[in-house]
Amino acid sequence: MSSALPAPALAVQLLRDMLRIRRMEERAAELYGAGKIRGFLHLYIGEEAVAVGALHALRADDTIVANYREHGHALLHGVSMNAIMAEMFGKQEGCSGGRGGSMHLFDAPTRFYGGNAIVAGGLALAVGLALAEQMQGGQRLVACFFGEGALAEGAAAEALNLAALWRLPLLFCCENNLYAMGTALARSQAQTDLCAKAAAFKVPARAVDGMDVRAVHAATGAAAEQIRAGGGPQFLEYQTYRFRAHSMFDPELYRDKAEVAQWKTRGPIHTYSAQLKAEGLLDEAAFLALEAAAVAEVEAAVAFAEAGSLEPLATLERDVYTAEPQP
C-alpha cells in the first residue's frame, strides 16, 4: 500500500497503523480468553513495525503471502478489520468465509494470498506467484513474510534457489524474532547469519532493525525498487521480537522474563511516538486521538463479528473435494 502522502503525514500514518494492529491484537487476546475466538491464535504484539513499514513501502496491487502470524499484514494490505475479526470468530462474513480462522486469512481481491499454518509453506507458493507475475510482464512483485524458523526447512532452500535462478520479482521478508515456536535460533540452525544463507543462493540480502518502522520502510522501499527494475529477488531480515508467547497455548518457558522486558524498552510504538513528538510532528492530544480511533475501529469490528452468522450445515460440503463413486 505504497503511499503518496507527504512525509509528515506518512510519518503519522505509520504510527496510526501500528496502533491499529496493536489494539486489534490485544482485543483478540481478550476475546480468545472469553471463548469467542477458538483454535490457534498467534499474536503480532511487538512486531508491528515490520508489517507497517514494509506494507507502506509496497504497492496496493502487489501480491502478499504470509505465515500464521498475519493479522497485521492482512489489515495493512487492505483486508478490512471487520472481515479479519469475523474470520477469527468463525463467521461466514469473514474473509475466508469463517473456514480459515486466525491462521488462514485469505482475500483474493486485495491479492492477499494467505496466512499459511505450515512453516515455510508460503515460500513455494510465493515462487509460483512470482513466476506468474514475471510471465505476465508487469511491475507487480510478490512479498513473502515468514519467520526465521522457516529457513531451516527444505522449501526455503528450494525457493531461494529458484527465485535466484529465474530472477523472479520476489521479496523474501524474514521476520527474525529469535524463537521458532519455542526454540532459539542458535539451538536449531548452525548458520545463524540469515543473510549469509540468502547470499549462498546469490540473493542480495540485508539485515534491518525490525523495531524501527522508518528503517523497515526505507529498506523495503529500496529492495522493491531493485526488484521492479529487473534485478531479481531480494532478501530482508527484519530483526524483531514478539512480546507475547508463540501462541495462546504456549507456557513460554524457553526465555527469560528479563530478556522480554529488555526488548520491550525498544517497543516500536512508544519509541516511535516519542520520536515524532521530539520532531514536532505529534503532540499528546494527537496521540490520544489516534489511540481513540484505533480502539473505536476495533470495537466496531468486534460488533460486526458478533452480529455475523455461522455457516449453515447445508453448505458445509461446498468446496470440499470428493471423488466420484466408482461403478
At 5 the pLDDT is 61
Closest to 228 in 3D by CA, of 4, 72, 5, 61? 61
Give percent above pLDDT 90 in the chain: 89
At 316 the pLDDT is 85
Judged against a pLDDT cut of 60, whether residue 10 lies above it is answered with yes
The answer to whether residue 20 sits within a structural domain is yes
The boundaries of the domain holding residue 143 are 7-315
Give percent above pLDDT 70 in the chain: 98
Burial class (CB in 10 A: 0-12, 13-18, 19+), 83: buried
Cβ(244)–Cβ(45) under 8 Å?
A: yes
Q: How far is it, in rounded angstroms, from Cα 261 to Cα 148?
A: 22
Instruction: Name the pTM for this structure.
Output: 0.94
The answer to whether residue 320 sits within a structural domain is no
Query: What mean pLDDT, rounded, does the chain reach?
Result: 95
Judged against a pLDDT cut of 70, whether residue 2 lies above it is answered with no
At 321 the pLDDT is 76
Reported confidence tier of residue 239, pLDDT bands at 50, 70, 90: very high
Judged against a pLDDT cut of 70, whether residue 3 lies above it is answered with no
Number of separate domains in the chain: 1
At 301 the pLDDT is 98
State the SS3 of 52-74. HHHHHHCCCCCEEECCCCCHHHH
Reported confidence tier of residue 138, pLDDT bands at 50, 70, 90: confident
Q: How many residues does the chain have?
A: 327
User: Exposure string (b/e) for 43-54, b if CB count within 10 Å is 16 or more?
Assistant: bbbbbbbbbbbb
The count of other CB atoms within 10 Å of the CB of residue 231 is 13
The answer to whether residue 283 sits within a structural domain is yes
Output the nine-digit C-alpha cell for 298. Answer: 476495533
At 325 the pLDDT is 74
Closest to 262 in 3D by CA, of 15, 46, 23, 30? 46
The answer to whether residue 1 sits within a structural domain is no
The answer to whether residue 264 sits within a structural domain is yes
The answer to whether residue 271 sits within a structural domain is yes
Residues 6+ apart with CB under 8 A from 206: 195, 219, 223, 234, 235, 236, 237
The answer to whether residue 267 sits within a structural domain is yes
Domain harbouring 202, CATH code:
3.40.50.970
Picking from 23-37, 134-148, 244-258, 296-310, which range would have the lowest pLDDT averaged per residue? 244-258
Reported confidence tier of residue 12, pLDDT bands at 50, 70, 90: very high
Query: DSSP readout, 106-148?
Result: -BGGGTB----SSTTHHHHHHHHHHHHHHHHT-S--EEEEEEG
Residue for grid cell 499454518: 117
Closest to 44 in 3D by CA, of 208, 243, 263, 261? 243
The answer to whether residue 322 sits within a structural domain is no
